[in-house]
Structure 1
Amino acid sequence: MTFISYDDFDSFDHIYRINLINSCSGYKSANLIGTKSAEGQENVAVFSSVTHIGSNPPLLGFFCRPTTVTRHTYDNIKATKFYTINHIHSEILADAHHTSAKYNKTISEFDKTKLISEYKKDFHAPFVKGCPLQLAMEFVEEYDIKANDTILVIGEIKGLYLEDHLLKADGFIDLAEGKTAAINGLDGYAVPTSNARFGYQRPKNES
């Protein structure tokens, strides 16, 4: 088994180190976050850091890189409070990944890909049409991560849309049936084909 020490990190090429550290945490969620500026400019960008914060209230978080450069998604959320989270699926992998390209704020990634924006129930931010799971989000608060100047953005789920067959009787959402992708590192995508469920666990030998 290969061993890489902390001291080795600084000796690596910049891209090699980024790939290594981004991959070692394991598979991450693959989502497109849709926003619209106060002036009406649409934006959509891929994020691999969306994570569950709590169920009651229903909160999700995601991390933004340092705002020392323009971050359109973050700026739009702070200006309008609303955004959408859309699960990337097997049929849009290339276009979803292309939204990581750094376009000017006046250019919408929807116009540079085959991704299509859609609006539901007068919600301010655009959803990504065809995604098997779409969430309407409202900004709640943010936390500065001092260790690397990133920002944890926390939002509340105001509503969710999902394909009928994904929702099971116990509330479980079967993402494999929606061909929802996961991200390995920065640019590797995997599409799970099945789920193994084991239920709530209790200590052995207890009645």
Structure 2
Amino acid sequence: MIYTKADIKKLDRITRLKIINSVTGVKPANLIGTINNQGKTNLAIFSSVVHLGSNPALIGFISRPRTKEVGHTFNNIKETGKYTINHIHPEFIKNAHYTSAKFNAEISEFKRCGLTEDYYNNFQAPFVKESTFKMGMLFKEAIDIKINGTVLVIGEIEHLVIPDTAMVNNDIDLEATNSVGISGLNSYYALNKIEKHPYVRVNEVPNF
């Protein structure tokens, strides 16, 4: 099948969302936990979390265009400067998926979707207790993407919680974390390690 730009524009909104959200392949599935200055918590599923740098340890995610009904995650981050990123595991995919509903700001997705708030080391933002791989983030910068009204939210890792069994030879085995991936709007995937290769140096590249 071949789609031109015109063909894509003709697709109904939901079909277009599913297709274009899938073309980059399987992405990490994460829940971002926040709290506002009134103590009301929010939890939302994101598939746009991406590594931006290791020193300092920077992670980014895309916040969609905000309206009065949505955008609670970014609003809370701007208020408090703190948030958490939590991997999703098979045991609570369904709970995590339904945090995507456009709940009123007065309703906490933690309670409504059957997930548990958890706190570490006096860190203000709530972690997801059911997740075994999670990060406490300090908000650093927001970059407006003018072409579609989204925002690249950049944070630095302040706390990192990793399952002991996932650390193998100073490397993270994502298969051992039992974290899941996401594609489109509603399809979830298991992560299976296929191969592992050494850090690449030019003089070690094999002849193909």
What does 1:14-163 align with in structure 2 at a 5 Å threshold? 14-69=13-68, 70-163=70-163
1:130 aligned partner, one-letter code:
E
Distance in 2 (CA, whole Å) between partners of 1:87 and 1:205 is: 35
SS at match of 1:99: helix
Distance in 2 (CA, whole Å) between partners of 1:39 and 1:114 is: 22
Distance in 1 (CA, whole Å) between partners of 2:20 and 2:206 is: 40
Question: Conserved in 2, the CA contact under 8 Å of 1:82 and 1:139?
Answer: yes
Q: How far does residue 16 in structure 1 lie from its aligned partner after superposition?
A: 1.0
Q: Deviations over 1:59-89 (max 9, x none)?
A: 0000001123431100000000000000001
TM norm structure 1: 0.94
User: How many residues are paired up?
Assistant: 204
Q: How far does residue 201 in structure 1 lie from its aligned partner after superposition?
A: 2.1
TM norm structure 2: 0.94
Q: How far does residue 141 in structure 1 lie from its aligned partner after superposition?
A: 0.4
1:196 aligned partner, one-letter code:
E
2:60 aligned partner, one-letter code:
G
Alignment RMSD (CA, Å): 1.4
Distance in 1 (CA, whole Å) between partners of 2:201 and 2:118 is: 44
**Consecutive aligned runs of 4 or more in structure 1 exceeding 6 Å deviation:** none
Q: Deviations over 1:151-187 (max 9, x none)?
A: 00000000101111111222x2112112100001111
1:129 aligned partner, one-letter code:
K
Q: How far does residue 195 in structure 1 lie from its aligned partner after superposition?
A: 4.4
Q: Does 1:179 align with 2:189?
A: no
SS at match of 2:60: strand
Unaligned regions of 5+ residues in structure 1, if any?
none
Distance in 1 (CA, whole Å) between partners of 2:88 and 2:52 is: 20
1:158 aligned partner, one-letter code:
E
Distance in 1 (CA, whole Å) between partners of 2:35 and 2:195 is: 38
Identity of aligned residues (%): 45
Range that drifts further, 64-73 or 18-27: 64-73
Question: Conserved in 2, the CA contact under 8 Å of 1:179 and 1:193?
Answer: no
Distance in 2 (CA, whole Å) between partners of 1:10 and 1:163 is: 44
